[in-house]
Amino acid sequence: MVKIGSHVSMSGDDMFLVSVKEAQSYQATALMVYTGAPQNTRRKAMDQLKVDEALDYMQSIGFDPNNVVVHAPYIMNLANPSEEKRAFAVSFLTEEIKRTAHMNANQIVLHPGSAVGKDRPQAIKWIAEGLNQVIDNTKDLSVKIALETMAGKGNEVGKTFEELNEIISLVDEKNRLSVCFDTCHTHDAGYDIVGDFDGVMKHFDQVVGNQYISVFHINDSKNEKGASKDRHENIGFGYIGYEALLKVIYHKDFLDIPKILETPYINDKAPYLEELAMIRDKTFDPQLKEKIEQKV
């Protein structure tokens, strides 16, 4: 059974318990949450996250807590030229890692950062410096920080495998780092996910090392390879396509790695129950979007 699910919400009074129930409603075997709104840094106190309730519930339905992934908010930037803002990012990420550990999750996905001043080597140094501080602040924890492969929109760092490797090489405790491999982002960054996934992974293995991959984001793309755009599309409806994504999902080298869909809602409705069914059945449904649109 592949470990696959989607990002789910964590909100209201029941917080993490709501996330697990939402994942269950999609028949998912993995899930990803933001600990609050991804576009801000307001967060609830740890004792309000309903962690014990969520863990009990996971046990009752046989959901493996190792397949829970946390995603850090994307507004913090470890490469911000402002020293004050970098310090804020370090302290916020430190707290996020404590929350992740409190939730019994073992990894948090992070967008490495953005080279605001366009000086990429400097940005990479700041990111690594920030990571070293965060790791030092959370020495007693084993949560991994999963650096995400980025599409290269704007001045995003992490568009190439080489950049990810540069960051990793500057971090002391490498066992606290891993990589989140996003299919839409790597395709948009110019890697041939469609025609030569094996070749791309061979390249990744040479530059970074496949053992670093701790989670995949499985998304189709609204744009052509190399567009540097980062606009996700539903599975099978974009430029990557159903067959290529299925090949990633069932690739023998990565069967054990949790996989998370971050595909767009259709008419304000979550597509995940249907998309996951289409993945399980290994049959593409060209009517999927219409079916979800008409759901009541």
The residue among 17 and 193 lying less far from Zn ion, judged by its C-beta, is 193
Judged by CB under 5 A, the chain residues 225 through 244 that form the site for Zn ion are 230
Task: Tell me the closest approach of the beta carbon of residue 10 to Fe ion, in angstroms.
Answer: 16
Which range, of 7-15, 44-52, 145-153, 169-177, touches Fe ion by CB under 5 A?
145-153
Task: Tell me the closest approach of the beta carbon of residue 112 to Fe ion, in angstroms.
Answer: 10
Return d(Cα 211, Cα 232) in angstroms, integer. Answer: 26
Task: Look at residue 188 and give the partner it binds from Zn ion, Fe ion, none, a contact being a CB closer than 5 to 8 Å depending on partner kind.
Answer: none
Task: Tell me the closest approach of the beta carbon of residue 150 to Zn ion, in angstroms.
Answer: 8
Q: Mask: binding to Zn ion, 174-213, rule CB under 5 A, as x and -?
A: ----------------------------------------
Residue 215's identity, in one-letter code, is: V
Closest residue by Cα to residue 16 from 4, 41, 33, 30: 33
Return d(Cα 150, Cα 114) in angstroms, integer. Answer: 10
Task: Look at residue 163 and give the partner it binds from Fe ion, Zn ion, none, a contact being a CB closer than 5 to 8 Å depending on partner kind.
Answer: none
Judged by CB under 5 A, the chain residues 199 through 218 that form the site for Fe ion are 217
The residue among 73 and 236 lying less far from Fe ion, judged by its C-beta, is 73
Task: Tell me the closest approach of the beta carbon of residue 232 to Fe ion, in angstroms.
Answer: 8
Judged by CB under 5 A, the chain residues 252 through 281 that form the site for Fe ion are none
Residue 145 backbone phi and psi in degrees, to 5: -95, 110
Residue sitting closest to Fe ion (CB) = 217
Q: Mask: binding to Fe ion, 31-70, rule CB under 5 A, as x and -?
A: ----------------------------------------
- Count of chain residues binding Zn ion (CB under 5 A): 1
**Signed CA dihedral, 57, 59, 60, 64: sign only:** positive
Task: Tell me the closest approach of the beta carbon of residue 239 to Fe ion, in angstroms.
Answer: 16
Q: Give the chain as a 3 state SS string.
A: CCCEEEECCCECCCHHHHHHHHHHHCCCCEEEEECCCCCCCCCCCHHHCCHHHHHHHHHHHCCCHHHEEEECCCCCCCCCCCHHHHHHHHHHHHHHHHHHHHCCCCEEEECCEECCCCCHHHHHHHHHHHHHHHHHHCCCCCCEEEEECCCCCCCEECCCHHHHHHHHHCCCCHHHEEEEEEHHHHHHHCCCCCCCHHHHHHHHHHHCCHHHEEEEEECEECCCCCCCCCCEECCCCCCCCHHHHHHHHCCHHHCCCCEEECCCCECCECCHHHHHHHHHCCCCCCCHHHHHHHCC
Task: Look at residue 274 and give the partner it binds from Fe ion, Zn ion, none, a contact being a CB closer than 5 to 8 Å depending on partner kind.
Answer: none
Q: Mask: binding to Fe ion, 216-245, rule CB under 5 A, as x and -?
A: -x----------------------------
The residue among 133 and 149 lying less far from Fe ion, judged by its C-beta, is 149
By CB under 5 A, residue 182 contacts Fe ion: yes
Task: Look at residue 217 and give the partner it binds from Fe ion, Zn ion, none, a contact being a CB closer than 5 to 8 Å depending on partner kind.
Answer: Fe ion
Task: Tell me the closest approach of the beta carbon of residue 221 to Fe ion, in angstroms.
Answer: 11
CA 287 to chain centre: 27
Catalog residues that contact Fe ion under the rule CB under 5 A.
Answer: 148, 182, 217
Catalog residues that contact Zn ion under the rule CB under 5 A.
Answer: 230
